[in-house]
Structures are given as structure tokens and as C-alpha cells.
Structure 1
Amino acid sequence: MPPTIDVPAARQLTPPTGRPGMPTTARWVGVLLATLALTLGLFVPAAPSAYAQSDDLYENLDLTYAIQEDGTVDVTMDVTLRFGSNSGRHGLEMRLPIREPYDPSGGGGSSDQDRTYDYSNFDVSSPDNVSTKLSKTEVPDGDHAGWLRLRIGDPDRTIKSDTVTYTITYEADGLLTTYEGIEFYYDALYAGGNPAIASSTITVESPSSAPVEDLRCVRGSDSSQTDCDQFDFSGTTVTVSNSNLADDEGITLAAQYPLGSIQNAEPNLIPADTPNGDQSMSLSSVEWPIIGGLFAVVAAIAAAVVGLARKYWLKDERFLGAPPGTIPPNPEEAEVGRDPGNLEIPVTFSPPPISVGEAGLLQDGQWDVTEITGTLVALAVKGALRLDPERKQVTLVDRNVADRPEERVLLNALFNNRGPGTEASLDSHTLHSANEQMSEAVRATVDKAGWFKSLSMSKAARRGSSFGGIAILLILGYNFIGGAGLNVLLAAAAIAIPVILAYSVYRAAKKRGQRTAVGRALTDQIEGFRLYLSTAEANQLKFEEGEDIYSKYLPWAIVFGLTERWTKICQQLVDLGRLSDQEPYWYSGTGSFWMNYAIWNSFTHSMHSATTPEPPAPDTSGWGGSSGFGSGGSGFGGGGISIGGGGGGMSSGSW
């Protein structure tokens, strides 16, 4: 029995009473819900807590706080990060508090004020060959807190080395407090917000006018009062050293200076009822009838525009007065009109005189794994190579029989300039690049032949553009009109969402391309031959005695998504004695050709994996839960200091 080459069903076509059509209503409902979720997600704060990359490790994390005479603090962070096995490996992410509750008594009670911090003049460097690109995002956390998220690295680049070293510098304002003296009472590392740390040193330098009078330092989990491993001061320098901090531990220190020795040594305070971001960012303030009405009107207009586009602007051309699939002797002079879309396509008993790759692109305007798989088998059937699906290898026989550009591209990708007898592995390193090149080669062929009036961009160029565009539009909208409140934002969304969805529907229709009359006639022939392979029974197939009809039409069955049916039909021919049970000349597996169903299925899935690019690494920053941080009280009261009692609190890790 011939093998089953189970090509993925994503490209399966319905019988050609209609060409590959629009996505289902359910799919677009899903797109709508996803877009709404993305929109509302912009307004839902993400609160930082324990970092998800629990197997990351800081080999060293060194912080230097240089207090200036004007009360600002120049911060330098030197860190060597060892990536864990579940790290995104794009770079380093930090979060610095920009607002937190303030209790001047230090008793953990409520206050009518919140404390704020300002940061500026960021600079990032690294001795390693990694991206030091920096992005900054303010993240609200409830009504009284917020963070500045810093991401260092490039989302499109993965760091290959196990470790990377960064130096980050910035200026901070609002870190000092005054009680009986000026205090630098600061949660240098937020408890539970960083990976484990093998070694950490913290240095605090003050102006010559501000010698250190007292120092306290604790390490551990939240509320811990365990002393740091080593801490000391001399003159204007504080030195703190700790080792082997677990990922739930933080460091809090309090250094005291003489009153009046540093200017502006007061916290930055705002009324606690000051809106955190926008006071109108509340669902209760939304004018739902207006928003809903606006959405309905825009959706109706967008739907009408798309309907007109599909009816008048995206229709194929067709030769008027000629039967489907017929190309007149002088096509340039033939009368051409719009395809009505309801013509019955006649059965065609042989494939059109084009390659399976060209046929695959013509039928829906897309290049997929079925095309490269069909082309590979077509080359084997032509005698260009022998195929071993069990080992996922091919052997070059005669490259000269390849007469199509995409076939030559595939052979060059597999074998370079090597000669007959050369073996090549069908792996992702080879096939992913070849797949993209083959797509471009076929597109160039059909463009030169004039089979399309318009053809959508290739998958590589198109990848991610739709939802990337949605995200960009929503983020820009948030940045430009966020201050106007949730009503304005949702009004903008009510306009943007129907337009974006309409554009997506339009693109889905446009994705298959708009065929010229010649392209439409060839597509009729393709659909007619697909109808033949999808409906013919074994006793209806006519072929010459000794002809290997299974191999001859197998590439087409692959592209049509009919491999399983074609295999069963040919098995019946074997049983009837009309088709030889000998292994095809292009097969070189170690097992029996007729029994290797599982191997063939595995081969096809391998082809799919090898030609599919790896998805981008997910965002695993994993900040969840309540922030649990606050500020207030002296670091030199009778009860001592504890983790989380000071201001600030940096969280960090890989992303």
C-alpha cells in the first residue's frame, strides 16, 4: 500500500463551487474579543512582586549611591546576570518605584500623602556583545503606587552566552528624608523581586559636608531585621556587603547625616487622593450608550466599505465568453470582465502546465508547507533526488532535471554545489531559509507571467504586521489621548476596532490576490484537477499500463490536501493489480515502502516544523500580586529598621 504523507490540513480546499473563502464568523468574533482584551489590557495595572525567572542568578550585583549636595542621587548598578533555563534571554528588566504610600510615623498606617520618586539621565553599557537598547514604561499599581519599568535589550535578539554584564547609571530624586537628621533610608533591593544573588556590595557616598553619623543595614525576606553580613562607614562612605541572598530576600539600609548638610533632603510628597495617572480611568465613568452607538455606526460603515471592496475591487478578472479554464489564442486582445464568482468549474483530467509550487500560490495567494513538500516530492519523481523519509534525508541524483526556479533554489539550499550521491538533512537550518527563497522565486515567476493584478506580501514580510499594527495604534492612542480619560480612550477604541477588523477582513480577502484573466483561467484548471482527484474512484482512473500514476500525481495531492484520499485510491489500484506494488524509484528508506505509514507521517510533520520559524519568546516577566511596599518613618527610631521599611525598592531579572 502506498504511504500516507499526511500534509497539514490548513490548506485543505472545499470542492470548487467556491474558492478558498473568508474566515468564519467565529474566527472574527475571536479576533474582536482579542482586540478588546488588548485594548482593556492597556488600562489594567500590572503590580510587581516576585520575579518569575526563579532560576536566574546574579553572580554579582553592586550598587553605588552618590548623594549630591542638592539632594539628588547618582546611581550606578554593575551586575552580572547568569541566565536560567526558563529565561527569555533578551536582556535585563528593572523596576523602580515612582509612587508609594507614605506614613511619616513609620507605623504602617495610612496617610493623606504619597511619596514620589523621579529618575532621569539613564545610560546603559556592557562589555559583552549584547544590545543595550533601553525602553522605559510607567506602570500604575493601584491608586497609590506605581513603577518605572526599564527593559534593556532587543526583543528580536536572543543572548547566546550564559552570562552578561551591564552597567546602568541614572539620577534619582526624592530618596532622602529628614527627621532628627538627614536620612538615606532606602530599600535598595525589594524583597522577593530579584533573582538569587551570589555577591552584592552597596556603597553610599555623601558630600564632604555630610559625614556619616550612623548606619543600620538588614537583609532577608519582608519585615526581616537580620543584620547584613558586613556594613560599616568611614567619613562620607558607607560600605555594605552580602552574599548568597535567596530570591525572596532584599536589602534595606539607613544612613544618617547631620541636619543641614545636604540641600533638599525632604521626600517628594503629593496628596494621597491625587489620581494615579488619570482620574477618569474608571469603568463607572464610561458613557456606554454613546460608546456603543459610535461603535455600531463605525462598524456599519466599515462593513459596507469591505462589502463593496469584496464585490467590486477584489474580484478576479475573467475572459468573457470563454468557458472556465480556457485561455483564448490571443489573450491580450480578448474581452475581459469581472469574475461573477458563481460559475461551475468543469472537471479537468490532467494538471495544468505549471509547477505544483505555482499552482499552490495561484489557488490562494499563499506559500505554505504543502508547496515545499509537494515540490520536494516532485523533484524526487522527476529523478532529481531520492527521498528517505525515515532518516529525513535526501540524496542528490541529477540536479539538471530541475527546470523551475523554486526547484533549483531548493536543490541549491540542500546540496550547494556538490555532486550526485551527496546526502542532505531536511532540518530547519536548511529548509526554513530555502522555504523563504522558494516563495520569493515563485512570486517572481507568477509576477513576470502576469497571473495576478495584485498579490499580497510574502508571509515573512507580513508576519506579525496585523496585530503589531493594532498594538501600535492602541499604544499611540493611549499615549496621545490617555489624559482625556477612559471615555475618550474607549471612543477611540470604538472607532479603531471596527476599522482594524474591517481592514483585517479586507486583507484576508486580498491575501489570496486578485488574479488576471489568465491567472483566473489557470486557477480554473487547478480547481478542476483538484475536483478530479477529490471525486474520482479507482475504477475511473485511466492511465497507461506500467505508469506510476501514484507518484505522478502525488505532488498535486499534497498541495491540494488530498494525500490520504489519493493514497487510498492507489491502494485499491494495487489490490486490483492495476498498479505495481514495487517501491518507487525515488524512495530509499530502509524499511518497506508500503508499511512505513508512521514514518511518512513523521516526515511530513518534520517538514512543517523545519519550515516554520520559532515563535518569539513569551513575555515571562511574571510580576504579579500586590506590591506591598511603602515609605515613612525614621530609620533610627527605637524599633530599628526592617526589610521594606525604607523608601524605594528595586526589582529586576531577565526578560
Structure 2
Amino acid sequence: MCAAALCSFAGTASAQPSSPVGLPGTVGADVRLKLERDGKLTVTEVVSVPEGKTAKRVVPLRIAVGDNRDRVFDVTDASVEGNGSATVAEDELTIALRSGTSTVKYTVVGTVAKIGDTLELRWQPASGWDTVLDSVKVSVITPDAPKSVNCLAGAPGTSKPCTSADLGDGRGVRATEIGLPAGERIDVAVGLQDGAAPANARVEETSGLAAAFALTPATGIGLGGLVVLLLGGLALLWYLRGRDARALASDVGPVNVLVTDPSGRVAFASPDGVLPGQVGTVVDEHVDVVDVTATVVDLAVRNYVWIEEVGERDWRFARRNPADSSLSGYERAVYEAVLPDGVDSVLLSELRGRRIDLTRVRDELYADVVARNWFVRRPDAERSLWWWVGLAVVALGVVGTVGLALISGPALFGLVVAVAGVGLALGARWMPARTKRGAALLEHVRGLRGYLHTASPTDIPEQDREMVFSRSLPYAVVLGETERWLGTFAGGRSGLYWFGQADRSTDLGRFAQRFPHFVGALDGVLAQAGHLRSLR
């Protein structure tokens, strides 16, 4: 017997085709159902339509089996041999036949269900016809001998038995209905042996949250689209960031930063003319405190600022030369942040109590790396753009999810959009990408770090050591190689042209001990007064 909640479908098939039985001038059907061992039901309908008439059958593939629940069937391989057509669209199988005898074939998935302890095959071998069927013959073949059969005929929902239904010789099912009015159905349920076929019935929620978030073919396509979108995003990032990855992974060739002029003097020349503050921004795509600190040191090395140690815990910055056109925009901003117009000298301790606005430094430095063609757009603007785009997509997805859930629509679509937005927002940090020139510079910076690791005072003529040491020092600061670089040259006894001590002569040994304290103190003042980290 069939369960009341599922009494909506069943089927039959016969071993040998036979002509439909019916009175002359009437429509008759012979339906043969065969259940395969894999759970697929193959259906063959032989239908005779009188001359001058047509017959149309619309089979719903989504049938209500309870409150807010539908049983769903999948039909494939629909075809007609004869005078007619068979199509599957929008949860319906439509069969349209003209006069003559036609053979309709299709395959159904979802007809086998586990009802309690019983395995059951269900299908409607006749339903949805727009004309009276004078006679319908049904036969069913199952992998193992069927255990029971229940055949109902009449309007949907009625329990009127078919004209006849039996197990035949025990190897199949046979049923007959004489006179089936238009719009009525024959519903066959066949009890199966355990293991005869896998249960493949699919029941979906039609309302409420469960239905809204049910995985349907449409939402499955949406999820597939999300996967494609994410893979496309990864491919885009791989393309944009690939140059950087190759620059970081490749072997670093020799980078010659020591050049000899026609007079034989040795000088330091950075790769692609990159300045210390620019190095940090190109490497990590952010403007950091250390970039500004390295720039202050570089301004002193280039004779714009004099740095003097005062006591054990303080240092003085004094104006040596005015800012001129040789300085880039961000260097001029750093110079004016430390020594504003009208101020000729200032103690580091005094800067600690004065608010330094480094917003201009940040903006000028980002604009500078774009102007130098190391980035296409400002890294911070690129990150911000994709962050806000991601949040907007998340908001759109959340609103869509809630709205669709309230109307029992496919809310999973909105969830998919929200997840995509989260991916965009999280991926914003990786969106800034260097140009080819920027990626090449990144590799050269690795070579510059190698120079700071391997250079020796003996590589440089004695008369040029102070200058080469000084010009290289700001790059050591920004690349985190300060102590190593100081240790390499600490044995020298000569003073420095850009750094002094108020109460004693300067030697490189003491400078090497005290300079890291100066760098740390300046970092702290700039971070506290300028709030630079919050501006990244």
C-alpha cells in the first residue's frame, strides 16, 4: 500500500509492446515501465490518436506531498517516435500528439522512496491528458520480484482503485483502467524487495526558511557561478601579483650600487633612483613610520638637516639648507613636518609634545610611487575601493537574503552574493599590484639588501667610506639592516659630516652604539604624534 502523503505517483512497463486497446475513434494508451537496478525508471507510452484529433498530456514534475513539501522528479531523454513532440521545461513534461500511433519514451529519476521499512516505486503512468482515454494498460518490470501493487484511478486525491491490478506471474505488475476522463490520473505504487534499487526520491520544502535556503538546480547554478567568480578572482590576482611572486621567488642577480665616477671616486647609487622612503612603500605597499624615519636620516645625509646628540636621551634637528626643487614632494613634506617655516632647530623631546600631521607625507609618498610608475594607482586607494565594494556587495547580499527569505524565494542566491562580497572585502588587502617596473624594482631591492649584508669597508677606498656608509645608512634603516650595517663600519674612527655630539667628538664606534636608540626614539615620536599607522 502507498503512504497517504506520497500518493501522487507510480508506473508500469511490459516486456513486449502491444497496441493500445480502445474503441474506434477513441484514444488508448499502453504504458510500459521498467525500473533499472540503478534506480532510473524508463517509460514507454504507446498512444493511439484517432484521425483528425489531437491529444496533449502535461505531467507536473513537482507534486505536493504535505504541508510546504513537494516531491520532485527529474525527466530526461524525452522523445517521440511518430506524429508529435515531448518537451521538459519548468517542472513539467509536455507531450503533444497528433493522429496516428506514437511511441513516447523518457527516463525518470526520483520514483523510488523508502516509506518506513518498505521500498516503494511510484509513478503516474497516465495523468494530465486533455482528452478521455478509452483504455489504459499499464505494466511494470522491476529488478526483483515485486512484493505488492496498489493502483488508484480518478481525480487527484481520490482513492478509487483501478479497474484491475495484480502481480501477474510474480515477475511484474499489470494494471488496467477502462475509461479515464480528461484531467484524471492513474497512480501506481509497487512494493519492492530490499535492495532492488537505491532510494532516490527527492522532497523539497516549498515555504519557510528551509525552502528559502534549499539547494535547488537554480541555486546550484548560483553556487557554481560563485565558484567560477572566486576562481576568476584568484586568476586575476595571480596575473596581477604574479610579477611580484616571481620577483620574490627568483634568484637575485648582482645589483651594483657602487659606481665610480671619471675621477675614480666611488659613490652609492640606489636601483632605479629609489629613495629610502619609497623603498618601504614599494616593498609592503604601505606608508609606515620607518619610511619617514629613514627619510629624516637621508635628509641629514644630503645636508638638508643637521642631527646632534644632546645628552644621553635627546637629539636636536637643525636646518642646514632650505628645501629646494631637488626634494620630492614627500621629502619636502617630511622636512616641513620636522622643521616648519620659522623654526631653525628643534629637540626630539619637543617634537614629542607637538602634534605632527603626517597626512601630507602619506599622500605625497603614495602619489610619488604612482608618478614613478611603480604602481598604477595609489595602493591605499585600491585597497579602500575594493574594501567598500566588498562591503556594498555584502550589504546587497544580506538585504537580498532577508527579502527572499520573507517571500520564501531562493534566499540562497542572496547568501551567495553576501559570501562573494566577504571574499572581495577580505581580498582587498591583496589588490594593489605593482607594475612591471615596480616588480623589477622589488627584485633590485632584494639585491640592495644583499649588498647591505655583504659589503665590506675594504671594498671602498678609504677616502670614500664615510660618504658610501652615510648614503647607504637610510636604506639599511628602512630595510631593517641598521645594526648589521653599523657593525660593519663601526671600526672606523673618523667623524660624520651630518651628525654630531654636543659634548664630545663623534666617532663611528659610539655612533654605532647610540644611533639605534635615536632611530627607535624617532619612530616612537612619529607614531605617537603623527598617528601614521592609523592612516595606512
Report the TM-score range of the alignment, normalised by the length of the smaller protein: 0.3 to 0.5
Q: TM-score normalised to the size of structure 2?
A: 0.46
Higher alpha-carbon Rg: 2
Q: TM-score normalised to the size of structure 1?
A: 0.38
